[in-house]
Amino acid sequence: MPTFKLDGNAIPFEAGDTIIKAAWREGIEIPHYCWHPGLSAPANCRMCLVEVIPSAPQKPVMLDILAWDDVAHEYRTQQKPKLVPACRTAAAEGLVVLSDKSEQVRKARRDVQEFLLLNHPVDCPICDQAGECKLQDYWLEHGQFRKRMRDEPIHKPKGVEFGTTIVYDAERCVMCTRCIRFMAEIAKDPVLDMRERGNLNEIVVAPGRRLDGHYTFMTEYVCPVGALTTKDFRFKARVWFLRSAPVVCQGCATGCNAYIDFDPRENKAYRYRPRDNAKVNDFWMCDEGMLSYVFAHRERLLQARVGDQHVSTTEAIEHVRTFFAGVPGSRIAVVLSAEHSLEDNWALHELGTNLLGVDRVFYAAHPDGYSDDILIHRDKNPNLRGVHSVAPGAKPVEALLGDVASGQITHVISLGSSATLGVDQVAKATWLSLAAHTGTLPRMATVVLPVTSWAEHSGTYVNARGLRQVSEKALAPQGDSQAAWQALISVAKALGHEASWHSLKAVRAKVLGIGPLLDDSTLTVSSPSSVE
């Protein structure tokens, strides 16, 4: 691979790379505002300026500047090397680039910072971006100057509602145009633009339009400062109290990689952020997915139930023992869930087919919905392919109705919450539901055991392309819930069997062999945090 030198270090690059992109891939940050690895590069912020040392016989391009001469007490003409934007300068074999090691570059960064902060309100104490703001970070790294301007700063619109999700503060905006480019280039809806010039610049929504559609949250995500905030997260938490876990979005079969940010003091999830994965979602997520973190808490089932009565998990298991005593496997059906992990589904399938002798396996799933050619998949389940891998012959749960009506099936064990069934259609069956959320299946059940949601355990999901991905645990189990594969150990025991799985490691070793899969390279959570 060809290389160039950055501050003396060899940086490999691919054809078409700019200096900033090659350095970014190596985990080296050249300061920047307008550049983003997933967007075009307008080179308008000038924060990424670097010095390129030409090799002989070329001479450096020099610029005349006026510099204050302390001895002569007047401005004198001096020369300095012309700096170039690293976001628009192509990497080339043998190039010698100075970034942190150039005094001219360090001064340029300081000057850009001072320029950007001239009219900035510096309202960090009430800004949601505080703690993850590029203006703050770069001021510490490259600024640390005192403000010299004594004039009243220019005031601009604040609290402007761009749509139902996003609020704009023009005084905090550094005019990097990332939000404009995201909407035009990725969301394919060029609804944002810039108006005026110089310090009157501001971002506006096209006349007659709102910032809407399925990708508005990403404008806030790409904004490097606190100019765009989401109504959902605004004023809810300080980011330095939050911790992050790498998870897989459960909103559809695309399986976008995300971080779930949560406050461990309250065991509460606050937001999703996209996690870079070039094989799945690049840098992005859709609005529905970004808001689906709320189901870490919303509609959660926290306690076991028998009939209408809340009971302890031990009591519920005792009822399972009684209800299922002496029932042959031929009368029992298991219902797997496209909402649940491979581990949970494997454990239920194992219990049913190997321990109980069940021969009728079904699966429940969310119905199809909206899709596009950007990210959103019509299959609204995170693991339908995984269910088909665990049980290739499983039928949709609707096919169970006839078996129940004819009396061939009298007992059912189901996983998950969603299914397009009516409660009265299966009233004749004794039903054990293991569910994390309220929904059709637990509503129709005789006994309900609460299980952990995706946010409370580590689980493996297979997306629509056949990629197997691990979603890690963020929250502690809520209420009386435990992972479904764990709860099924107790269920197996109550039904007179010893489970062959007793740890996550043991279950995961089993699901590793499940296939076929197109590509298994994202089995481990490995995506680096986005550094843009």
Give me the residues that bind ligand FES (CB under 6 A), please: 32-35, 43-48, 85, 87
Which amino acid, residue 318? E
Q: By CB neighbour count within 10 A (0-12 exposed, 13-18 middle, 19+ buried), where does 111 fall?
A: middle
- Subset of residues 236 to 265 that bind ligand SF4, contact rule: CB under 6 A: 249, 251-252, 254-256
Per CB under 6 A, contacts with ligand SF4 among 159-218 are 173-179, 203
329/359 Cα distance (integer angstroms): 7
Query: Does 286 contact ligand SF4 by CB under 6 A?
Result: yes
Max Cα-Cα span within the chain? 104
**Candidates 89-97, 146-154, 278-286, 315-323; binding stretch for ligand SF4 (CB under 6 A):** 278-286
Residue among 285, 434, 449, 494 that touches ligand SF4 (CB under 6 A)? 285
Helices (H) and strands (E) in the chain, counts: 13, 25
Give min distance, CB of 379 to ligand SF4, in A: 9
Give the C-alpha distances (Å, rounded to integers) separating 58 from 5, 18, 91, 234: 17, 21, 17, 53
Binding segment (CB under 6 A) for ligand SF4, from list 71-79, 112-120, 123-131, 225-233:
225-233
- For ligand SF4, the binding residue among 41, 86, 117, 227 (CB under 6 A) is 227
Q: Which is nearer to ligand FES, 47 or 304 (CB)?
A: 47
Binding flag, residue 288, ligand SF4 (CB under 6 A):
yes
Residue 93 gets which letter from DSSP? T
CB atoms within 10 A of CB 357: 11
Query: Any idea how long the chain is?
Result: 532
State the nearest-atom distance from the C-beta of 529 to ligand SF4, in Å. 17
- What does 186-244 look like in DSSP terms, one character per residue? ISS---EEEESSGGG-EEEEPTT--S-SS-THHHHHH-SSTTEEETTTTTT--GGG-EE
Q: Which of 353, 532, 382 is nearest to 453 (CA)?
A: 382
Mark residues 289-318: x for contact with ligand SF4 by CB under 6 A, - for none.
x-----------------------------
Instruction: Answer with the entry of ligand SF4, ligand FES, none that 47 interacts with (C-beta below 5 to 8 A by kind).
Output: ligand FES
Q: What is the DSSP letter of 7?
A: T
Closest among 506, 332, 335 to 434, alpha carbons compared: 335
Query: Min. distance of Cβ 187 from ligand FES in angstroms?
Result: 21
Pick what 255 binds: ligand SF4, ligand FES, none; C-beta below 5 to 8 Å, kind-dependent: ligand SF4
What's the CA gap between 88 and 93, in Å, rounded? 16
How far apart CA 387 and CA 336 sit, in angstroms, is: 7
Contact predicate 85/30, CB 8 Å: no
Task: Pick between residue 113 and residue 177 the one whose CB is nearest to ligand SF4.
Answer: 177
Closest distance between ligand FES and the C-beta of residue 277, in Å? 23
Q: Decide if 270 contacts 233 (C-beta within 8 A).
A: yes
User: Minimum Å distance from CB 255 to ligand FES?
Assistant: 31
For the window 384-423, what string marks contact with ligand SF4 as x by the rule CB under 6 A? ----------------------------------------
**365 contributes a contact to ligand SF4 by CB under 6 A:** no
Considering CB under 6 A, how many residues would be counted as binding ligand SF4?
27
Cα separation, 169 vs 180, whole angstroms: 15
| Smallest distance, ligand SF4 to C-beta of residue 64, A | 32
Binding site partner of 228, from ligand SF4, ligand FES, none, Cβ cut-off 5-8 A by kind: ligand SF4
Q: Which residue is nearest to ligand SF4 (CB)?
A: 289
Q: Say which entry of ligand SF4, ligand FES, none residue 22 contacts (CB below 5 to 8 A, set by partner kind).
A: none
CA dist., res. 493 & res. 483, Å (int)? 16
Q: Which is nearer to ligand FES, 87 or 351 (CB)?
A: 87
Structure tokens that stand for 489 in this block: 């150990």
Query: From the CB of 377, what's the least distance to ligand SF4, in Å?
Result: 6
Which sign, positive or negative, has the C-alpha torsion 106, 107, 110, 115? negative
Binding stretches for ligand SF4 (CB under 6 A): 173-179, 203, 222-223, 225, 227-228, 249, 251-252, 254-256, 281, 285-286, 288-289, 375-377
